[in-house]
Amino acid sequence: MKHCYWPPFKSTEKCMEAIQNKLNPETEGKPWEKLRIIFLRQYSTFEMAKEGKKEIIEYKERQTMYAVVTLQESDEVMVVASNWLSPDKKQCYWPPFKSTEKWMEAVQNRIKPETGGKPWEKLNINLHWENVTFEKAKERQKQIKEQKEQ
């Protein structure tokens, strides 16, 4: 297991400056937090590291296809396509379809939120879990529903 030190600064700009300038953990007299990390790759420049981060995020997004969420308004636990989630994963686009079959088809085919001719509603959610397969997401949905009922 590898470790890294994280700067104690509150502002994002100050943290980024510390990382870019390769400040030592003892700098400015404040203790830096020691974090356990999973080391993926080392880059020779900060710009290359930022590009590498983008690639990793894009790869992860391609691997995550479904999410299990609770709709805050109705407290229903649902499986949705992960591409329906907002970037902060606190909201989810909801299709305007009335039929359960059409809705389920939209989830399984991961159709884009603007599809269908009608605007999609944005609902507040609590994200529980994300996974690659629809079947695994359905299993997790069932587990969460059972926990809520207890």
**Angstrom distance (rounded) from CA 100 to CA 111:** 15
pLDDT score for 78: 93
**Cβ–Cβ under 8 Å, residues 108 and 138:** no
**Cβ–Cβ under 8 Å, residues 125 and 93:** no
Range with lowest mean pLDDT among 44-53, 82-91, 105-114: 44-53
Across the range 64-68, mean pLDDT stands at: 88
pTM exceeding the 0.85 threshold for the entire prediction: no
pLDDT score for 115: 62
